[in-house]
């Protein structure tokens, strides 16, 4: 079994029973985005893939604590333990842990490496565009939100994400996804107002 498949197996155990918005599908999409952006930006793909696999494994602890535990910090702690188990070099472990602990939107840690910036971007890119719209509706359904809530989500959060991108690739992708959302939510508003 390869390192990636072993880490993937460990990560999946922590994500069992996760809500749809942050389940295994989210992890797979973040991993794919990390690979794409990482290749274009000349990043360490090994660090990025491991960080992507492990970035949300602490979410259950955040949910169970009512938000008192930060999932990014808990994920970083768990990631360190998992990677040490496989005898990975300390420098690589530290690089992965740094990526994981500072990927959160509201976190107080800033991404200090290229790989950390890319994981941050990949995680945010998965919350905008067509997939972001789908996730917003899914979140509303999971939490009993009203139908108009995704439109408010765009105004309050999703619409601001493109300005957080730091790499040229991330900026380009976010711009395209943002344009799609603007068109979609403009159309949604017109339909909700009976204009179309």
- The CATH number of residue 163's host domain is 1.20.58.1910
> Which residues 6+ apart lie within 8 Å of 75 measured at CB?
54, 55, 56, 57, 58, 59, 100, 101
Q: Are residues 141 and 88 in the same domain?
A: no
For residue 64, the model assigns a pLDDT of: 87
| pLDDT the model gives residue 23 | 86
Q: Mark which of 113, 143, 172 sits at the end of a domain.
A: 113
Domains contained in the chain, number: 2
Q: Using pLDDT thresholds of 50, 70 and 90, give the confidence band for residue 147.
A: low
Same domain? 54 vs 141: no
On the question of pLDDT at 140 being above 80, the answer is no
107 has a pLDDT exceeding 70: no
How would you label 30-60 residue by residue, b for 16+ Cβ within 10 Å and e otherwise?
bbebbbebbeebebbebbbbbbbbbbbbbbb
Residue 139: pLDDT band (50, 70, 90) is confident
Give a yes or no: residue 120 inside a domain.
no
Last residue of a domain, one of 59, 88, 113: 113
On whether both 13 and 99 belong to a single domain, the answer is yes
d(CA 150, CA 100): 27
Is it the case that residue 125 has pLDDT exceeding 70? yes
The pTM of this model reads: 0.93
Decide if pLDDT at 182 tops 70: yes
170 and 95 together in one domain: no
Full residue range of the structural domain in which residue 176 is found: 127-196
Give the mean pLDDT of 131-141.
86
Answer yes or no: do 42 and 68 share one domain: yes
Same domain? For 85 and 138 the reply is no
Write down the mean pLDDT value for the chain.
91
* Whether residue 99 is found in the same domain as residue 171: no
* Same-domain status, 77 and 131: no
Claim to verify: residue 56 and residue 11 sit in the same structural domain: yes
Is 154 contained in some domain? yes
Confidence of residue 148 (pLDDT cuts 50, 70, 90): low
Domain end point (choices 113, 136, 169): 113
Same structural domain, 58 and 100: yes
Determine, yes or no, domain membership for 122: no
- Mean pLDDT over 92-119 rounds to 90
> Residue 121: inside a domain, yes or no?
no
Whether residues 7 and 43 fall in one domain? yes
Q: Which of 60-64, 86-90, 117-121, 158-162 has the lowest mean pLDDT?
A: 60-64
Q: Is 152 a residue whose pLDDT tops 90?
A: no
Handedness of CA 111, 113, 114, 118 (dihedral sign): negative
Q: Calculate what percentage of the chain has a pLDDT beyond 90.
A: 69
Is pLDDT at 106 greater than 70 in this prediction?
no
| pLDDT tier for residue 102 given thresholds of 50, 70 and 90 | very high
Q: Are residues 149 and 77 in the same domain?
A: no
pLDDT tens for 18-33 read 777 788 999 999 999 9
79 falls within a domain: yes
Average pLDDT of the segment spanning 110-130? 95
């Amino acid at each position: 079994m390869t390192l990636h498949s072993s880490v993937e197996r460990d990560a999946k155990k922590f994500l069992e029973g996760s809500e749809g918005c942050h389940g295994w599908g989210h992890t797979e999409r973040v991993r794919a985005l990390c690979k794409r952006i990482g290749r274009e930006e000349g990043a360490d793909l090994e660090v990025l893939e491991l960080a992507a696999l492990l970035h949300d494994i602490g979410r259950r602890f955040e949910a169970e604590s009512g938000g008192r535990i930060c999932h990014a910090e808990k994920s970083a702690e768990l990631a360190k333990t998992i990677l040490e188990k496989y005898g990975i070099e300390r420098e690589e472990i530290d690089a992965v842990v740094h990526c994981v602990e500072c990927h959160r939107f509201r976190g107080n840690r800033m991404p200090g490496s290229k790989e950390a910036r890319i994981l941050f971007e990949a995680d945010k890119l998965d919350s905008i565009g067509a997939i972001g719209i789908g996730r917003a509706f899914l979140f509303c359904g999971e939490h009993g939100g009203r139908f108009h809530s995704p439109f408010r989500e765009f105004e309050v959060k999703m619409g601001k994400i493109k300005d957080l991108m730091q790499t040229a690739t991330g900026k380009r992708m976010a711009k395209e996804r943002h344009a799609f959302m603007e068109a979609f939510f403009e159309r949604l508003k017109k339909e909700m107002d009976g204009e179309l």
